[in-house]
């Protein structure tokens, strides 16, 4: 009996490795499926009677560009899935700090004349010199902040202590949210919620977090009042029909696009109400899905998102490494909150804000950098002994 124990232990270890690998594959497969749906719906949302699907040069075609972004995002996902997530903890968080500083530095370049590009009155984009391309640097901060918090709350600070632990982390979060929030309030709010959730899971005292959040309330109030269009979005949300052809147009048109599809939709490429919906390819892609694939299609997309979150939850529950567990939680919370915020905006459940449906909305920055974060989650899964649903 004693001779059989080592062999039994080795078999159990091998089974655990297989299960961990299966979880990683599931995560990549579900995320890849969402990206594929996004690419198809971008093609569909780009079609119109008076506008050809493909133009010359080909790179100027929105649908072709999105296909290239999806391909790049998939490659980033697969690459990061192979990279050990423990690399982010090198130097007991020194590398994570460097990544965050670099991300904030790049994000600040949007205020540099000639580099920052305005969109809808906000400088969220950064022009890539020598090209007609641009990217949204706030996506870099989305990835760098969770990595920083996961490593520093484990290796560098005692998060249970307010002055020497929680407060320094709160200052970092405030810098990130403040620098992004001046031009992108939705992303700043998302970062603050994700960071707060991570600090709570890391062991911070709830009343400490409440105390830390008190100065954030007037700060976010200032961010709202500092831009007239943000105030307009709050007031028009209460009654979009008071200016149906103006400020309330997007809200009303989003609901019309969703309703026009019914339960089963008009069919892929057959939607026409989408042509009257601003930002149909980007922030309001979910409305296009509902028009062409119906409420059933919208539920299916939500189902895929929930499956992804459930797989991520399994990684969090089973990961024994505190850095990996906290980082996985941050990534899952980021995707979950962003998806919920987007769908709430599209269905007029909250005031309009510019935030994309993760992995589905058109856009290079979100597709590539969020794809890389999915890869990090898959990397944690591979090294944590997680089991896929039904394989426990």
Instruction: Report the pLDDT averaged over residues 366-392.
Output: 79
Number of H helices, E strands in the chain: 13, 3
* pLDDT one-digit tens code per residue, 210-266: 999 998 889 888 888 777 778 888 888 888 888 888 888 999 999 999 999 999 999
Yes or no: say if 151 and 96 are a contact pair by the CB < 8 Å rule.
yes
**Confidence check: pLDDT of 8 > 80:** no
* Residues forming a β-bridge with 358: none
* 27 cis-preceded (ω within 30 degrees of 0): no
Yes or no: say if 379 and 24 are a contact pair by the CB < 8 Å rule.
yes
Residue 44 is predicted with a pLDDT of: 83
Yes or no: say if 153 and 159 are a contact pair by the CB < 8 Å rule.
yes
**H helix runs in 240-319, sequence order:** 249-260, 285-318
**Confidence check: pLDDT of 299 > 90:** yes
Q: Which residues contact 306 (CB under 8 A, 6 or more apart)?
A: none
CA 20 to chain centre: 24
Which residue reads 């990996």 in tokens? Answer: 324
Residue 70 is predicted with a pLDDT of: 93
Residue 391 is predicted with a pLDDT of: 40
For residue 371, give both structure tokens.
């794809």
* pLDDT one-digit tens code per residue, 33-66: 999 999 899 888 776 544 555 555 655 667 778 8
The DSSP 8-state label assigned to residue 152 in this structure reads H
SS3 for 116? strand
For residues 138 and 181, give the distance between their C-alpha atoms in angstroms, rounded to a whole number: 10
Residue 20 is predicted with a pLDDT of: 79
Residue 278 gets the label, from left (phi > 0), alpha (psi -120 to 50) or beta, of beta
Using 50, 70 and 90 to split pLDDT, how confident is the model at 121? low
Q: How many CA atoms lie within 13 A of 236 on its CB side?
A: 23
For residues 301 and 310, give the distance between their C-alpha atoms in angstroms, rounded to a whole number: 14
For the chain, give the mean pLDDT. 86
For residues 347 and 336, give the distance between their C-alpha atoms in angstroms, rounded to a whole number: 17
Q: What is the pTM of this model?
A: 0.90
The DSSP 8-state label assigned to residue 112 in this structure reads S
């Amino acid at each position: 009996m004693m001779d059989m124990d080592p062999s039994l232990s080795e078999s159990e270890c091998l089974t655990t490795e297989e299960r961990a690998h299966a979880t990683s594959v599931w995560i990549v497969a579900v995320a890849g499926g969402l990206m594929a749906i996004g690419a198809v719906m971008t093609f569909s949302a780009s079609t119109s009677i008076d506008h050809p699907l493909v133009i010359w040069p080909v790179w100027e075609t929105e649908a072709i560009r999105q296909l290239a972004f999806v391909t790049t995002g998939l490659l980033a996902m697969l690459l990061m899935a192979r990279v050990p997530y423990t690399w982010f903890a090198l130097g007991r968080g020194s590398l994570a700090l460097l990544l965050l500083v670099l991300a904030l530095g790049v994000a600040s370049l949007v205020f540099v004349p000639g580099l920052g590009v305005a969109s809808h009155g906000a400088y969220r984009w950064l022009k890539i010199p020598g090209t007609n391309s641009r990217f949204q640097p706030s996506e870099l901060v989305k990835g760098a902040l969770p990595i920083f918090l996961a490593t520093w709350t484990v290796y560098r600070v005692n998060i249970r202590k307010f002055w020497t632990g929680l407060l320094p982390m709160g200052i970092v979060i405030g810098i990130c949210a403040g620098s992004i929030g001046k031009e992108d309030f939705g992303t700043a709010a998302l970062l603050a919620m994700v960071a707060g959730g991570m600090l709570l899971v890391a062991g911070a005292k709830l009343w400490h977090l409440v105390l830390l959040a008190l100065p954030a309330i007037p700060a976010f109030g200032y961010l709202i009042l500092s831009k007239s269009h943000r105030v307009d979005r709050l007031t028009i949300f209460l009654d979009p029909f008071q200016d149906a052809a103006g400020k309330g147009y997007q809200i009303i048109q989003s609901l019309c696009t969703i309703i026009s599809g019914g339960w089963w939709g008009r069919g892929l490429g057959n939607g026409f109400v989408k042509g009257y919906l601003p930002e149909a390819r980007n922030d309001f892609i979910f409305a296009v899905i509902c028009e062409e694939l119906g409420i059933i299609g919208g539920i299916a997309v939500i189902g895929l998102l929930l499956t992804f979150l459930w797989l991520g939850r399994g990684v969090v529950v089973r990961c024994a490494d505190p850095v990996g567990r906290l980082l996985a939680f941050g990534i899952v919370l980021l995707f979950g909150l962003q998806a919920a915020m987007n769908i709430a905006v599209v269905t007029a459940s909250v005031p309009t804000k510019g935030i994309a449906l993760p992995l589905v909305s058109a856009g290079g920055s979100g597709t590539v950098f969020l794809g890389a974060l999915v890869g990090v989650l898959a990397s944690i899964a591979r090294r944590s002994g997680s089991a896929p649903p039904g394989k426990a």
